Amino acid sequence: MATHLSSSEGTIRSANVADTAALARLMSSVDLSVMPFGVAEVAASLQRGHVIVLDVGAGVLGAAALIELEHTDDKQTHGRIRWFVIHPALAGTSADEQMAAAVVSACEASGCTDLDVVGAP
């Protein structure tokens, strides 16, 4: 059965521990063979940084991103995107742009002076 998701009906918000199972389902919906993700890895990500999600309702997440902030000795804040995942059913929609804008906004609100995409550690 195909999954039909609409990013225009979703809400971008911060993830919490109640999202662990939905995040694991989202991660399993994409090919992460170089970075396998299960519930334990999702739970660790929630502890390690700020996770932003696109909540499309009914316990389904259409997208997610993990942002880590690093505060340096020179009082700068650097943001790093560790992972950024869009559900395959949202490929070609505005979900990626919505999420990218949310990540940038979250980093700016935290005082980031730059933002890097570095991938999972």
Render pLDDT for 17-44 as a digit per residue (tens, 0 to 9). Answer: 899 889 888 888 876 655 556 667 777 7
The structure tokens 């970075």 sit at 35
Give CA–CA dist 12/57, Å, rounded. Answer: 11
Quote the pTM value: 0.81
Collapsed DSSP state (helix, strand, coil) of residue 58: coil
Sort residue 7 into left (φ over 0), alpha (ψ -120 to 50) or beta.
Answer: alpha
Q: What is the pLDDT of residues 71-116, one digit of tens each?
A: 888 888 888 888 888 898 888 888 888 998 999 999 899 888 888 8
Give CA–CA dist 82/80, Å, rounded. Answer: 6
